[in-house]
Structure 1
Amino acid sequence: MKFYADRVPVALRQLITDVFVVIWVFVWLRIAFWIQDIVEKLAVPGEKLESAGTGIATNLADAGGKVGDVPLVGDELTKPFTGAADAARSIADAGRQQQEFVGQLALILPAVAVAVPLALVLFLWLPWRLLWIRRAGVASAVRENPAGQDLLALRALTSQPLTRLARLGPDIAQSWRAGDPAAVAALAELELKQLGLRGRRR
């Protein structure tokens, strides 16, 4: 398996691209965590609301219980405290709901923020990089034997632009069909150069 080209300019470009992609992913992950921290701070008012509502409801319920002990009018005096305690519980519930909503946002917003950058890496850069690794690995493995040279030459004939092939001579395809070693070597060298690899060792 070959991760980088033999030729320095191509290898340097690949290395810079790989480093950039790693930094790109790291930066967006940091942004996602930053968004999560900011959103989670929005839950603080909900926490205070829940705490205050629960505390008020408890105190009102206790007070209502004590007032309820008053003979004859205890039940009548308890009703306002009960109603106020229920209202305080509603406030506490609103605080809990707000915290749940913020918790969902704290998951969704960072995921959305990081989804597009990661999708670019996974669906654009990574397939291109893996394709080069596979092609370069095969090419570097076969370049040292004559049959491999012939395969590389055939690959060059089928995939290289006509302008590059024409530079090798107008009869390059005919020379390859005739098994001309120089033509085969030139075509194989062209394909290896396209991949950023050095030619066959002399």
Structure 2
Amino acid sequence: MRLYAAAPARCVRQVLGDLLLLGWIAGWAWAGRELYEATLELGRPGRATASAADQMAGQFHDVESRIGSIPGVGDDLAAPFSGAAAAAENLAAAGRSQAETVADIALLAGIAVFLVPVLLVAVLYVPLRARFVRRAGAARRFADADPALLALRALTNQPLRALTKVSDDPVGAWRDGDPAVVRRLADLELRDLGLRR
């Protein structure tokens, strides 16, 4: 399997493209992480509210239990503190819920900021690279086993001026199986693919 072309200019372009793709992925991964962290900060008030409300509920329950132990009137006096503790617990639950919602949104936003641009570029670039790898592998196999197929491909794909540089009658030479012309035609096609024999 050949990942890069043998032709230096094409190889440099492919390596640069791969490095740019990796940089693109790393950059958007960083941007997604930063957005996640920044959005997560929006949940701080909810976490602070939940913490303060939990402390208040604990204090109201302490007062409720102390006043509730007074004989005769304790239950009546403790009832408002019980209601205040329940309200504080509801406030703490709301704060936790808000913080959890912000955390979920932060995660989704971070993933979206990473995935959308990366997938847009990857959908365009990766198939081109995979196509080159497939074509280069197939061309290598044919070049080593039987270059006649590559020569035929050159006859159909290459411009006429390139074919006439190989032979005055490239089709006739190919039909006759002239090994030198077949090899030069195959080399022409390999060169077009960015490969060498």
Letter paired with 1:104:
D
CA distance in 2, matches of 1:165, 1:12: 28
**Corresponding residue of 1:138:** 138
Letter paired with 1:123:
V
**Corresponding residue of 1:193:** 191
Contact 2:50 2:92 in 1 (8 A): yes
**Corresponding residue of 1:72:** 72
Contact 1:156 1:188 in 2 (8 A): yes
Contact 1:57 1:88 in 2 (8 A): yes
**Corresponding residue of 1:96:** 96
Worse overlay, 26-35 or 130-139: 130-139
Q: Secondary structure at the match of 1:5?
A: coil
How far is 1:4 from its partner? Answer: 1.6
Question: CA, structure 1 residues 116+156, in 2 after alignment: closer, same or farther (shift >3 Å)?
Answer: farther
**Corresponding residue of 1:168:** 163
CA distance in 2, matches of 1:171, 1:88: 94
How far is 1:155 from its partner? Answer: 2.4
Contact 1:25 1:118 in 2 (8 A): yes
How far is 1:7 from its partner? Answer: 1.3
Unaligned runs of 5+ in 2: none
TM-score relative to the length of structure 2: 0.86
Q: Deviations over 1:36-57 (max 9, x none)?
A: 1112222221211111111101
Contact 1:61 1:85 in 2 (8 A): yes
How far is 1:174 from its partner? Answer: 4.4
How far is 1:144 from its partner? Answer: 4.8
How far is 1:82 from its partner? Answer: 1.2
- Counting only pairs closer than 5 Å after superposition, residues 1-202 of structure 1 correspond to structure 2 as 1-144=1-144, 147=146, 149-158=147-156, 160=157, 164-165=159-160, 167-169=162-164, 172-181=170-179, 183-198=181-196, 200=197
Letter paired with 2:100:
E
Contact 1:40 1:103 in 2 (8 A): yes
Q: Deviations over 1:2-28 (max 9, x none)?
A: 222111111111111111111111111
CA distance in 2, matches of 1:93, 1:140: 66
Unaligned runs of 5+ in 1: none
How far is 1:83 from its partner? Answer: 1.2
How far is 1:127 from its partner? Answer: 2.4
Contact 2:155 2:163 in 1 (8 A): no
How far is 1:197 from its partner? Answer: 1.6
CA distance in 2, matches of 1:111, 1:173: 56
CA distance in 2, matches of 1:187, 1:116: 44
Letter paired with 1:168:
L
Question: CA, structure 1 residues 27+165, in 2 after alignment: closer, same or farther (shift >3 Å)?
Answer: same
Letter paired with 2:189:
E
Worse overlay, 69-78 or 85-94: 69-78
Worse overlay, 168-177 or 101-110: 168-177
Contact 1:29 1:114 in 2 (8 A): yes
How far is 1:58 from its partner? Answer: 0.8
